[in-house]
Amino acid sequence: MTRRPAQVSALLLLVILVAGCATGHANRDPVGDRFPSVSGDSLDGTEVSLPDGIGGGPSLVLAGYAQATQFDIDRWMLGLLQMDSTLRVVEVPAIQGWFPSTFLRPTIDGGMRDGIPREDWRSVVTLYGSDAARLQAFTGTERPGNARVLLLDPDGVVAWFWDQGYSPRRLREMLAIAADAGDMAE
């Protein structure tokens, strides 16, 4: 093996080992609990504190813990657009672990910026490290390809939750609850 492929292989092994050390949490339904206080940066570089930074009315948090979650988040977003929802939506990638938080942040954020239109950068708030770990513990991490869909009331309390993949029936259910909370979601 030449020196360069050996370095790449060692780095890849380290990333796999660090990713494998992430703590798993049983899924839980957080309805009635206040969303944890966390902060991250939106893709446009603005620091955002959640849930306080998105208050003022009901809002929807679409949290993802793995790159594969983006497919599920995209289906929720498409459903919201088809329903003409005016609900405030924030996508929250939550990336736990010291290594990605310390060394991969620019690469991860840059990759997301490459795949997301600039007009949507403000609504994507990435959590790293302990903030990501707090959110993951709040909802659980089983079936990481499914988005964690959390409807927050104006006080940041979870009014509705779903983690079993996109469902048009569940989308309508959530929008009805948001409308009851005073939002013109439908």
Structure confidence at residue 21 as a pLDDT band (50, 70, 90): very low
| Cβ count near 90 (within 10 Å) | 21
| pTM as predicted | 0.82
Give the integer Cα–Cα distance in Å for 123 and 175. Answer: 19
What domains are defined for the chain? 25-180 (3.40.30.10)
Residue 7: per-residue pLDDT:
47
Model confidence pLDDT, tens digit, residues 63-80: 999 989 999 999 999 999
CA distances from 111 to 53, 105, 137, 161 (A): 24, 10, 26, 28
Q: Which of 162, 150, 156 is nearest to 49 (CA)?
A: 156
Q: List the structure tokens of 136.
A: 């993951």
